[in-house]
Amino acid sequence: MIISCKTQLEMKLIKKTIHEQFPIKDKGPITIFLNMYFKRNRIKREIYLSQPLKIEKLLSNDKYNERDYTQVRTPTKVPANPDVQLFSEMCANTPEMQAIMKKKPYKSILGQVLFIMITCRPDIATAVSKCGQFAQNPGIEHWKALLQIVAYLNSTKDMCFKLGGITKEIILNAYSDSDWGGDLDKRRSRTGFVIRLNDSPVTWMSKLQTSIALSSTESEYVALSLCARDIIWCRYLLEQMGFTQRQPTTIYEDNLSCIKIAESHKLPPGTKHVEIKYHFIRDKIESKEIILKYETTHEMLADILTKALPFMKFRKHRNTLGVEDT
């Protein structure tokens, strides 16, 4: 109770100081901002974010035809079908198909689900990224895949993104993974990683790599380096906020060969072609800012950010990400 009172006094002082420079109105604890809902459990020190208004707006687009409207209202358990692959041959390549797709609000819907993903729904990151690849010239199959994301959000609109929790210290950790050659057009791999503050995700990525990896180890190594760059930024930010990370940040990785290359001072055969910038991870391991730990593929949280998963595995990782019913 003493801590709670002290915190309240500090907040009053902060608000008073701000008001002296910029006139403000104190409307009490935040409940909604940019259509995003906030709920708190002060006993558990948790906060829950959700976007039900944005999702409802997605369902009422006046450019949907009857078939579109039926699909977005049909319940689905996953945002992307693991048995369906998207590629460029599905794009609108005839004048007739292009005329049809011009009537579809593809970019508008994509932008809205992208905003929802960035703010509070990391579970749809992979599906949104894949649909984003074809934003310039989508075809009917791409449109159906985008509508499945909307249908999934509608089926799970009451779910919240949980942050916080009771803890004694602030510790960063991360999971890094890749899907080797998952892109059917150029055989590029997909990087997926999530950085967490204790058990709460604070940043995540699902993105195609810019170059073609010649092995799964190489694609994992590239993903690991990209993850490390964001971790260093997070460490600097926390330091500025007064939460200096005294210990190395742990990155969990499911490829032992990748870990060995990152921890080695030598350049193993078959890796000489890897761009110098990806060896950034080695310096950070040597400076003891980052440490690598092996995690089994089954438990690899970042797997949800590299590919479409079957429901049971998807649900397991979704819950670990903190997207759950409250």
Over 270-291, what HEC string results? CCCCCCHHHHHHHHHHHCCCEE
Q: How many CB atoms lie within 10 A of CB 128?
A: 22
Query: What local confidence, expressed as pLDDT, does residue 6 receive?
Result: 59
CA distance 23 to 15: 10
Mean pLDDT over residues 7-30, rounded? 84
Q: State pLDDT tens for residues 267-311.
A: 666 666 776 778 889 999 999 999 999 999 999 999 999 999 999
Largest CA distance in the chain: 70
Higher pLDDT pick, 35 / 64? 64
Residue 75 predicted with pLDDT over 50: yes
Whole-number mean pLDDT of the chain? 92
CA distance 82 to 115: 23
Query: What local confidence, expressed as pLDDT, does residue 270 receive?
Result: 64
Write the single-letter amino acid at 146.
L
- Model confidence at 312, in pLDDT bands (50, 70, 90)? very high
Mean pLDDT lowest among 6-10, 108-112, 206-210, 316-320? 6-10
Q: How many residues does the chain have?
A: 326
CA distance 131 to 142: 6
Mean pLDDT over residues 126-151, rounded? 97
Q: State pLDDT tens for residues 156-215.
A: 999 999 999 988 889 999 999 999 999 999 999 999 999 999 999 999 999 999 989 999
- Model confidence at 1, in pLDDT bands (50, 70, 90)? very low
Mean pLDDT over residues 70-78, rounded? 96
Residue 252 predicted with pLDDT over 50: yes
Write the single-letter amino acid at 54.
K
Mean pLDDT lowest among 59-63, 141-145, 243-247? 59-63
Cα dihedral across residues 268, 274, 278, 280: positive or negative: positive
- DSSP codes joined into one string, 37-102: EEEEETTTTEEEEE-HHHHHHHHT-TT--HHHHHHHTS--SSSS-TT----GGGS--SHHHHHHHH
Query: What local confidence, expressed as pLDDT, does residue 272 receive?
Result: 66
**Strand-pair partners of 164:** 46
Mean pLDDT over residues 95-99, rounded? 95
Query: What local confidence, expressed as pLDDT, does residue 225 receive?
Result: 94
Mean pLDDT over residues 129-151, rounded? 97
Query: What local confidence, expressed as pLDDT, does residue 265 receive?
Result: 75
What are the structural domains, with CATH classification, of the chain?
Answer: 2-49 (no CATH), 52-155 (no CATH), 170-324 (3.30.420.10)
